Each structure stands twice: as structure tokens, then as C-alpha cells.
């Protein structure tokens, strides 16, 4: 599974490029037709970016990385069976496509956030609908599950670099996008920070600690001396 989503990727795209659908149906001199990247193609590149990240991080972390609980909040209202929403203390902590797990004394279920309501800051839309009711008597808790920062951003940046190379290779001369290069360089630099121990991926298991809980260990880094930013920089 990729470390980020199509929706996250689309938010980072410039207006001239969109994923899945054309944003301008009638291009004019003032507003040109947007380049459209098929969703299947974007998903393939997201998976390639994820594989590239795993290949770099395997020196330190057990890959693929795991989602971790980054937020815990109370369910504030009883939720009937077949509901497409949850009521929480503050919906501002959630994003579209976020994965949430609802747990109470009966059991737990996992849902995906598919709507944030502007007129109700305590309500989030979910899919699929609930297959059981949640009662406040059973002390329900809503957990937000995410990959550790900045992995989703790195995955999106590396993927954008790959996608823009594909777009520009058939449309432009030279066939490399400066925007794509910048995104890829920023993602590579962030990965270097992880390998140097400057950034720690919280909640992830580290390699080489067979008989200890590695998540409580000190920050570690690879043994290669002088790992410098920009060694993968493109000119």
C-alpha cells in the first residue's frame, strides 16, 4: 500500500496538471486545457515511490512501514447502525482519506474519512457505513491512524517528480520539469535526514534490535560517514 493517497497527491499538483479528470472542459487562450494523468498511472507511480522509500529506509527501519496512532479522541454522541458519520470533539484534526479506528468495550472497526463538514466542526463523514451501533455507555474512542511524518509528504514529492518527468518527456524540450526536480530533491533530502537520525520515525520498528523494543531506543543512523544532502541532486 502506498504511503499517501491520490487526493493528497492532487493537492500538491499545480493547476496545469490534474489526476483522474480534466478540470477545464473548454480550453481558451486565457485558460488552457489541463494535463490529465489517469488515476491508474498515478497509483502505479505512488507504489513505485513507496518502493523507492522502502529501499532506502530498510537499512534502519523494518519495511513496509506501519500506520500508527497519532490522535485519540472521544466519540461524543451515540452512533446508530448504518451511519455514514462520526461525532468527535474537533474534526479539524482529521483530513480526507484519513484512516480512523473506532474502539469500545465491544470491539473495533476501521473507516476512511470521506467528508469534512464546514458547517459542523464536530462531524466527519466516513465510508463504509457503520455495521454496528456505538453507545457512549461502552466508552467509544476514535483513533486517527497515519504513517509517520514526513513519509506521506516524501512519497508525494518523489511521485510528483516521476509523474512530471513522464508528462514533460512527451511535451517539452528539455524533457525534465524544474518543478518535478525540486519536489524530488526535497523528498530525497528529507530521506537523508531520516538516515542521519535528524528525523525519527515514531512508532516504527528498527532493525538490528532483535531482543528489545526498538521504538524506545535512542535515535539511530546509518554508519556511512558524511552523508551529505544533495548527493542525488539533479543539475
Q: Confirm if 27 and 33 have CB atoms less than 8 A apart.
A: yes
The per-residue pLDDT for 165 is 81
Cα dihedral value 200, 201, 202, 205, nearest 10: -110
Closest CA to 162 of 56, 63, 11, 53: 53
What are the φ and ψ backbone dihedral angles of 154, each rounded to 5 degrees? Answer: -60, -45
| Residue that the C-alpha cell 476512511 belongs to | 112
Least confident segment among 72-86, 179-193, 210-224: 210-224
**Is residue 174 classed as helix, strand or coil in its secondary structure?**
coil
Positive or negative: CA dihedral 117, 120, 125, 129:
negative
List, for residues 122-140, the tens digit of each pLDDT value: 999 999 999 999 999 999 9
Whole-structure pTM value? 0.81
CA 23 – CA 21 distance, rounded (Å)? 6
The per-residue pLDDT for 29 is 43
Q: Confirm if 101 and 110 have CB atoms less than 8 A apart.
A: yes
The CATH number given to 68-146 is 2.40.10
Q: Where are the domains of the chain?
A: 6-65+149-216, 68-146
Least confident segment among 43-47, 119-123, 158-162, 229-233: 229-233
The per-residue pLDDT for 19 is 87
Positive or negative: CA dihedral 12, 15, 17, 19:
positive
- 43 pLDDT above the threshold of 90: yes
| Residue that the C-alpha cell 467509544 belongs to | 140
CA 32 to the chain's CA centroid: 30
Q: Which residues 6+ apart lie within 8 Å of 179 measured at CB?
A: 14, 160, 164
- 157 band by pLDDT with thresholds 50, 70 and 90: very high
Amino acid at each position: 500500500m502506498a504511503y499517501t493517497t491520490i487526493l493528497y497527491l492532487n493537492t500538491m499538483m499545480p493547476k496545469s496538471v490534474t489526476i483522474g479528470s480534466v478540470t477545464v472542459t473548454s480550453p481558451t487562450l486565457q485558460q488552457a486545457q489541463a494535463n490529465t494523468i489517469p488515476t491508474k498511472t498515478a497509483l502505479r507511480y505512488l507504489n513505485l515511490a513507496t518502493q523507492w522509500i522502502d529501499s532506502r529506509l530498510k537499512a534502519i527501519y523494518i519495511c513496509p512501514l506501519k500506520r500508527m496512532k497519532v490522535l485519540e479522541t472521544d466519540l461524543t454522541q451515540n452512533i446508530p447502525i448504518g451511519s455514514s458519520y462520526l461525532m468527535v470533539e474537533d474534526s479539524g484534526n482529521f483530513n480526507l482519506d484519513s484512516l480512523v479506528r473506532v474502539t469500545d468495550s465491544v470491539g473495533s472497526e476501521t473507516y476512511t474519512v470521506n467528508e469534512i463538514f464546514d458547517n459542523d466542526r464536530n462531524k466527519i463523514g466516513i465510508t463504509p457505513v457503520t455495521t454496528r451501533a456505538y453507545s457512549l455507555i461502552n466508552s467509544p474512542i476514535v483513533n486517527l491512524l497515519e504513517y509517520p511524518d514526513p513519509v506521506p509528504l516524501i512519497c508525494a514529492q518523489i511521485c510528483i517528480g516521476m509523474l512530471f518527468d513522464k508528462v514533460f518527456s512527451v511535451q517539452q524540450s528539455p524533457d525534465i520539469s524544474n518543478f518535478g526536480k525540486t519536489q524530488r530533491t526535497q523528498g530525497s533530502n528529507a530521506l537523508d535526514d531520516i538516515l542521519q537520525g535528524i528525523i525519527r520515525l515514531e512508532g516504527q520498528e528498527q532493525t538490528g534490535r532483535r531482543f528489545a523494543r526498538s521504538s524506545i531506543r535512542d535515535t539511530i543512523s546509518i554508519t556511512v560517514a558524511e552523508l551529505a544532502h544533495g548527493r542525488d541532486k539533479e543539475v
